[in-house]
Each structure stands twice: as C-alpha cells, then as structure tokens.
C-alpha cells in the first residue's frame, strides 16, 4: 500500500494543474492532445487510481448502480451479474446487489430506502420487478435513471430483451416437425412477462403447424419445479394425453420429466419435453433437455451499458434486442405410434 498517490502528485509529475488531470481522467473536452498524453503517462508511472469516495463526494455522484432482483433462479442471476460486472469495470462503476421481496409495496419501500441510504446513480431491474407498476411509477417521480432486463412493456423503457415469443414459436415448430400434434403447454408465473410471451409463441407455433389450439392442453404453472410436477400430473392424467409438453421454463420441464419417469413413461419415447432458459441443470438431467438459451451475461452487460449511457446523458439509452439460441437435446424426439 505504501503511500497513496493523489491527483496532486500526478499533476506535479505531469507539470500541470490538478484540474487538468481531472479533465483527462473524466474525458472532458478542452485538453490539448499532447498534454493529455503527458498526463496519461504520469498516471501510468505513478499507478494512480482515483479515490472513489472522494470523486463521489466532490462530484455528488456515487458511481454505484443497484441491481434489483427477486428472481429465485441462481443461474439466471449469476449470468446477469457477470455481464453487469464486466460493463461496470469498464466504466469504473460499482454494482450493489439488492434482493427484494415479492409484494409490490415492499418493493417500493425497499427501493426508496436503498436510494436514500446508498444513493445509486441508477437502477437495473430484472424480471419480474421490471413490471411492478408501483415501482415504475415511483421511479418516474424520483427521476432516477433505470434500465430493465426483459420488461413486459418495452416502449419508453431502456434496457435489453429477447424475442421470447419467437423462441417459443420455434420450440413448438420443432415439436410439430417431429410429428407431434397434441402438444401441451405449462404456463409460467402470471406476474412475469415471459409467461405471456411464451404462451403466445406456443399459440403461434400451433397455428403455423395447422394444429387447433386446445385449452385443455394448457395448464397454469408458476415457474417452480413443484408447479411443474402438478401441471404435468394434470396433463398426463388427461384421457387423451399430449405426446409432447412445452414447459415455460426448465424447472417446470424437470417436473414434467420427473412425473413421466415415475409413471414409467419414456422420455422422449412416450413424451417429448421442452423447457426454456438453458439452466445448467437442463444439460445434467436425464434426458438432457431441449430448451432455449438466453445470453444472460450479454443481457446484463448490455442493460448496464444502456443504463450508464442514460446516467451520463439523461434520456439517452435504448432498448436492445439480443438473439436467442435453440438447444436441441435428447428430451425431444419423433412421435411414436
């Protein structure tokens, strides 16, 4: 640690004033190229790193963004976090994690508290918090910048999203191409935008394949393994049971496989199963799950970049689309007679 080098030291070595160093570091205009280089050189030599608290105090910015979440999927979150950290590092920002409750009121209260205590420069919302009406309204009042990952309503909001409807459409099309006609769907948690998109994609896939939509084949779940087990039980108890099930996420798909195997049905021989998300579990389960890969780290990275843009210059930033990837694995196969 030895002696801390301060901006003053850099200024002296470079033969300029503190302010000029500050300008260079903050990429402000009005610095001649050669003095800029001289300053940079001094910074390198001294291995100078600005003191975050001092910048923060003087500039009344916190260089902090808060990642709000109440999504229980560890792999999803860690993916997003990885991307957020990458983007933060590039801009010398810090990220703080804010696990929230489920109820709308508590979300708002916790967020207000958070803002008061930690004064983040911006917020990153992840589903389903992205769609909390109370929070969205409060954030608008507070005029604090935020970006959303996969929000339900994507107009007037910046962040990142994937064409989940299209992905679900592709999944169903895949099943239909294998000969399946009775394709069940387990809907996700009603609070998540993803549930609606994936259901719509399911319907569109059926339509494209010329399969009539049958409400009996659609069961409500809530994204959890247990809800998948319940839903699968209902579907497999049907007199005319489906030959394929598209669950709105991997956890529920795992529930379907569980029920199928417990009934001595073969997967995919007797029942094809698809999920969504490509969690690590999906490739470890037997049989490995056909699913949709979300580039969670990329999404975290992009959402953060848009947020930082909006922090830098108000009202900038946009809603970015990222591509998905189908992961066709062993849990889906041709319809058996």
Count the neighbouring beta carbons within 10 Å of the beta carbon of residue 326. Answer: 16
Q: Residue 2: name its binding partner from DNA, a second copy, none (Cβ under 5 to 8 Å by kind).
A: none
Beta-strand pair 272-274/244-247? parallel
Indicate if the alpha-carbon torsion angle 40, 42, 46, 48 is positive or negative: negative
Nearer Cβ to a second copy (111/165): 111
Check residue 270 and report its DSSP letter.
T
Q: For residues 255 and 225, is the Cβ–Cβ distance under 8 A?
A: yes
Stretch that binds DNA, among 44-52, 211-219, 285-293, 329-337 (CB under 7 A): 44-52
- Applying CB under 8 A, among 17, 284, 325, 336 the residue interacting with a second copy is 284
Distances from the Cα of 182 to the Cα of 68, 165, 289, angstroms: 39, 20, 19
| 3-class DSSP state of 98 | strand
Minimum distance from CB of 34 to a second copy (Å)?
27
Q: Residue 116: name its binding partner from DNA, a second copy, none (Cβ under 5 to 8 Å by kind).
A: a second copy
Told to check if 293 binds a second copy by CB under 8 A, we report: no
Q: Residue 286: name its binding partner from DNA, a second copy, none (Cβ under 5 to 8 Å by kind).
A: a second copy
Which helix (H) or strand (E) segment holds residue 159: the answer is strand 159-162
Residues 6+ apart with CB under 8 A from 54: none
Told to check if 153 binds a second copy by CB under 8 A, we report: no
Q: Residue 35: name its binding partner from DNA, a second copy, none (Cβ under 5 to 8 Å by kind).
A: DNA
Please identify which residue in the block is written with the tokens 């008061």: 116
- Applying CB under 8 A, among 106, 262, 316, 323 the residue interacting with a second copy is 262
Distances from the Cα of 152 to the Cα of 125, 133, 230, 337, angstroms: 12, 11, 26, 40
Nearer Cβ to DNA (25/235): 25
Map residues 206-225 to x or -, x wherever contact with a second copy holds by CB under 8 A: -------------------x
Both structure tokens of 80: 């997003």
Stretch that binds DNA, among 15-23, 169-177, 236-244, 284-292 (CB under 7 A): 15-23
Q: For residues 93 and 61, is the Cβ–Cβ distance under 8 A?
A: no
Told to check if 251 binds a second copy by CB under 8 A, we report: yes
> Which residues would be at the binding site for DNA (CB under 7 A)?
4, 6-8, 15-23, 25-26, 29-32, 35-36, 48, 50-51, 54-55, 57-61
């Amino acid at each position: 640690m030895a002696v801390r080098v301060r901006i003053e030291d850099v200024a002296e070595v470079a033969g300029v004033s503190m302010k000029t160093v500050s300008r260079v570091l903050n990429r402000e205009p009005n610095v001649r190229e050669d003095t800029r280089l001289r300053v940079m050189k001094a910074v390198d030599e001294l291995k100078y790193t600005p003191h975050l608290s001092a910048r923060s105090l003087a500039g009344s910015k916190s260089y902090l963004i808060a990642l709000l979440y109440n999504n229980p999927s560890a792999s999803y979150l860690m993916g997003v976090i990885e991307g957020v950290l990458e983007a933060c590092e590039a801009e010398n920002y810090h990220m703080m994690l804010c696990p929230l409750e489920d109820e709308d009121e508590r979300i708002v209260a916790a967020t207000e508290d958070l803002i008061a205590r930690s004064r983040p420069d911006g917020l990153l919302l992840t589903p389903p918090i992205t769609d909390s009406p109370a929070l969205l309204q409060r954030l608008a009042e507070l005029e604090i910048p935020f970006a959303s990952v996969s929000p339900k309503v994507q107009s007037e909001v910046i962040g990142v999203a994937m064409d989940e409807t299209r992905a679900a459409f592709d999944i169903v099309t895949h099943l239909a191409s294998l000969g399946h006609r009775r394709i069940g769907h387990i809907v996700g948690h009603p609070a998540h935008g993803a549930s609606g998109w994936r259901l719509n994609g399911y319907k569109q896939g059926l339509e494209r394949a010329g399969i009539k939509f049958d409400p009996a084949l659609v069961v409500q779940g809530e994204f959890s393994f247990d809800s998948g087990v319940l839903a699968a039980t209902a579907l497999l108890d049907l007199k005319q049971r489906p030959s394929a099930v598209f669950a709105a996420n991997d956890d529920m798909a795992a529930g379907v496989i569980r029920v199928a195997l417990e009934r001595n049905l073969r997967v995919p021989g007797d029942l094809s199963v698809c999920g969504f998300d490509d969690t690590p579990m999906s490739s470890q389960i037997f049989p490995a799950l056909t699913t949709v890969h979300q580039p969670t780290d990329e999404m975290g990275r992009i959402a953060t970049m848009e947020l930082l843009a909006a922090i830098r210059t108000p009202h900038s930033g946009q809603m970015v689309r990222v591509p998905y990837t189908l992961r066709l694995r062993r849990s889906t196969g041709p319809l058996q007679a």
